[in-house]
Amino acid sequence: MGSFLIPANSKKSALILGLFRTVDIVILSIGVIITFILLLILPIQEMTYTLIALFPACLCAFLVFPLAYYHNVRVFIGIFIKFITSRQKYVWRGWCYQDEVNKFKK
C-alpha cells in the first residue's frame, strides 16, 4: 500500500508548450534567424538560393520535431550514435545455454 503512481504525462509539464526544452527552442530560433538573414541577403528569385536560405530552418525544425518513444529527433540521433559507438556485449542465451551451465556445475 502507500504506492504512488506517476502519471504518464508528468514530464511534459517541465517542457515549454509540453514539447520543447530550452535547448530545443534555442536551436530552432537560431535556425529561423539564420534563415531570415539569408532570405534578406540572397536573391530569392532563383530556386537554388531559396532552398539554401530555407535549409537552416528546415534542418533545425527536423532536429526538434517530436518523435514517439524519444523526446525528439535530436535525442534519437544522440542515443543511436551512443549505441553504435559503444562496446556491445552479446550473451548467447539460446538452446545450448542450459547445457553450458550444467557442464560448468559438474
Residue 34: what residue type?
I
Residue 83: pLDDT band with limits 50, 70, 90: confident
Number of Cβ within a 10 Å radius of residue 19: 14
The three three-digit cell numbers of residue 87, written as one number:
562496446
Q: How confident is the model at residue 29 (pLDDT cuts 50, 70, 90)?
A: very high
For residue 33, which amino acid is it? I
Q: Cβ–Cβ contacts within 10 Å for residue 94, how many?
A: 6
Rounded CA separation 65/14 (Å): 17
Residue 106 scores a pLDDT above 60: no
Q: For residue 81, give the C-alpha cell.
A: 550514435
